[in-house]
Structure 1
């Protein structure tokens, strides 16, 4: 008597397709690695959530202060509409060469 063989593999012949699937996946991974995730740009915020940036009076220094606090002595809030939000944005670059004097006027850095 011949005993039927129990085979967990489907009779549709999916096993020969495994090398093709592996080749497609390997190609996709290689393409992603070679493009270096082109088009994705990381932007870093100047301050963390719950903080705002302040400018050191008389210099280009800056700091971050809790939303619940006022700036400490020697620091001032940035003028309205000229607050840097991200590292390297328009206002972050601007304040590298400008500052506020003791009267709150914008001046060039000496």
Structure 2
């Protein structure tokens, strides 16, 4: 199991992580630190716990919005897939109708050819 040292609000923390996940954990910590630093500039140093709580809430809000967008995009994808299937059905029906018309025209041409040859 790996360990990585991260810095949040100028404080170092050692975090355990899976082997190979060290860079990802550093990136996540940098993202949290960006929020904490921004909050500290806005509201001042109100304590690590409160800053981390506020940063956590901001990240949770971002995640909530992202999940809503994903859900909306999944619904849109489902609708588009349904529309595509419906369009494919209409295309097949149109092709079948065209084939019937062409078959009927060919049958009439054959009948006319037979009449002309018989005359």
> What's the TM-score bracket when you normalise by the shorter of the two chains?
0.3 to 0.5
Q: Which has the larger radius of gyration?
A: 2
* Structure 1 or 2: more strand by fraction: 1
* Structure 1 or 2: more helix by fraction: 2
Q: TM-score, normalised by structure 1?
A: 0.35
Q: TM-score, normalised by structure 2?
A: 0.33
Greater RCO (CA < 8 Å, at least 6 residues apart): 1
